[in-house]
């Protein structure tokens, strides 16, 4: 079975989805990514969906699950690069993607994620703040 | 109205759902559908194909091109011989699910196409057809 590669970039994990995933592959990615957050002690996850031609409710649910699991594991998830026609279709379908942070491209996503990581680290250092 | 059958696609695995998306994209693009219309009908097809596989125990998709005067459209008919749906009205409602999904499949797919038709009887399977006009 194919696997979607997960790359470690600084304190983040970067996933670029470049193929039309079948459902089991999407589930495997969800599990692999959740495990990788813990094993690599990552503070952020960047998921690049710019190559995806469609996002249906299944993939939408996978993205929500990854975002929720990473939050519980003290990491931030940002979904980047969603194409406009994909975004419109998702909204009409009724998928909310609530609680998911987004950015226009990988550069902006990395910028945001690094800022969020710095903020959480300085809060940790301040103690009870 | 003229109907031209293009092909049938079996839906027996989660890889077949990907194949359904690819076939629908190919024919929607060949008809000259806009990118947004293509995306809507592919997404609707993906939702219904998953229902056919997960709830219907597998089945098939029939792809047809419709000609109504100058108007052309793509009709997708998904059929299975699964347990059928007892309460169609309830199944069409958003967030209703008997599985682990979001419950957006049927109602969501209906919003993405121009015409939506569902026929189902408990014990006699389900037949859903979607039309997106160009």
Q: Which residues of B touch A93 (CB under 8 A)?
A: 43, 47, 104, 108-109, 111-112
Give the tokens for residue B73: 């459209």
Distance in Å from the first CA to the final CA of chain B: 15
Distance (Å, whole) CA A34 – CA A127: 27
Residue B79: CB atoms within 10 Å: 19
| Mean pLDDT of chain B, nearest integer | 92
Which pLDDT belongs to residue B94? Answer: 78
Contact A60, A27 (CB under 8 A): no
Residue of A nearest to B35 (CA): A85
Distance (Å, whole) CA A122 – CA A127: 9
ipTM of this complex prediction, to 2 decimal places: 0.89
- Quote the percentage of chain B above a pLDDT of 70: 94
Q: Which residues of B touch A55 (CB under 8 A)?
A: 43
Q: Which residues of B touch A94 (CB under 8 A)?
A: 94, 102, 104, 107-108, 111
Chosen for mutation from B43, B107, B109 (greatest number of chain A CBs closer than 10 Å) is: B43
Mean pLDDT value of segment A74-89: 96
Contact B30, B20 (CB under 8 A): no
Count Cα atoms within 13 angstroms, Cβ side, for B40.
24
From residue A7, give the alpha-carbon distance in Å to each of A36, A38, A40, A59: 10, 14, 10, 20
Which pLDDT belongs to residue B101? Answer: 61
Chosen for mutation from A94, A95, A98 (greatest number of chain B CBs closer than 10 Å) is: A94
Distance (Å, whole) CA B133 – CA B116: 12
For residue B9, is pLDDT > 70? yes
CB spacing of B43 vs A56 below 8 angstroms: yes
Contact A57, A91 (CB under 8 A): no
How far off is chain B from A94, nearest CA to CA, in Å? 6
Give the tokens for residue A14: 């970067």
Which pLDDT belongs to residue A121? Answer: 82
What does the angle CA B12 – CA B17 – CA B22 come to, to the nearest 5 degrees?
130
Mean pLDDT value of segment B120-131: 94
**Phi-psi domain of B58 (left: phi exceeds 0; alpha: psi -120 through 50; beta: other):** left
Mean pLDDT value of segment A66-91: 95
Topology adopted by domain A6-126: Transcription Regulator spoIIAA (3.30.750)
Q: Which residues of A touch B46 (CB under 8 A)?
A: 54, 56, 58
pLDDT digits (tens, 9 = 90+) for B64-112: 999 999 999 999 999 999 999 888 888 888 777 766 565 667 899 999 9
Which pLDDT belongs to residue B87? Answer: 85
Domain boundaries, chain A: 6-126
Considering its fold, how many domains does chain B have in total? 1
The pLDDT confidence band at residue A28, using thresholds 50, 70 and 90, is very high
Give Rg (Cα) of chain B: 14
From residue A18, give the alpha-carbon distance in Å to each of A4, B20, B49, B116: 8, 18, 22, 31
Cβ-based interface (< 8 Å): residues of B facing A: 13-15, 17-18, 21-22, 25, 35-36, 39-40, 42-43, 46-47, 50, 94, 101-102, 104-105, 107-109, 111-112
Bridging pattern class, strands A44-48 and A12-16 = parallel
CATH of the domain at B92: 3.30.565.10
- Quote the percentage of chain B above a pLDDT of 90: 79
Mean pLDDT value of segment A17-21: 94
Whether A65 has its CB under 8 Å from any CB of chain B: the answer is: no
The pLDDT confidence band at residue A122, using thresholds 50, 70 and 90, is confident
* Structural domain of B103: 2-133
């Amino acid at each position: 079975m194919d696997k979607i590669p997960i790359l470690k970039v600084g304190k983040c994990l970067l996933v670029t989805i470049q193929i039309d995933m079948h459902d089991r592959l999407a589930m495997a990615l969800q599990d692999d990514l959740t495990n990788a957050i813990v094993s690599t002690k990552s503070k952020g996850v960047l998921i690049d969906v710019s190559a995806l031609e469609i996002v249906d409710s299944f993939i939408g649910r996978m993205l929500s699950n990854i975002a929720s699991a990473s939050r519980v594991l003290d990491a931030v998830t940002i979904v980047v690069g969603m194409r406009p026609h994909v975004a419109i279709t998702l909204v009409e379908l009724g998928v909310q993607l609530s609680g998911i942070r987004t950015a226009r491209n990988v550069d902006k996503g990395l910028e945001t994620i690094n800022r969020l990581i710095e903020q959480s680290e300085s809060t940790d250092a301040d103690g009870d703040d | 109205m003229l109907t031209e059958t293009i092909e049938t696609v079996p839906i027996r695995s989660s890889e077949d759902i990907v194949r359904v998306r690819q076939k629908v994209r190919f024919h929607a693009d060949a008809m000259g559908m806009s990118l947004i219309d293509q995306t809507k009908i592919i997404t609707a097809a993906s939702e219904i194909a998953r229902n056919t596989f997960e709830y219907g125990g597998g089945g098939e998709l029939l792809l047809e091109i419709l000609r109504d005067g100058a108007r052309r459209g793509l009709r997708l008919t998904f059929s299975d011989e699964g347990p059928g749906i007892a309460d169609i009205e309830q199944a069409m409602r958003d967030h209703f699910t008997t599985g682990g999904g979001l419950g957006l499949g049927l109602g969501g797919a209906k919003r993405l196409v121009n015409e939506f038709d569902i026929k189902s009887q408990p014990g006699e399977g389900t037949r859903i057809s979607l039309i997106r006009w160009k």
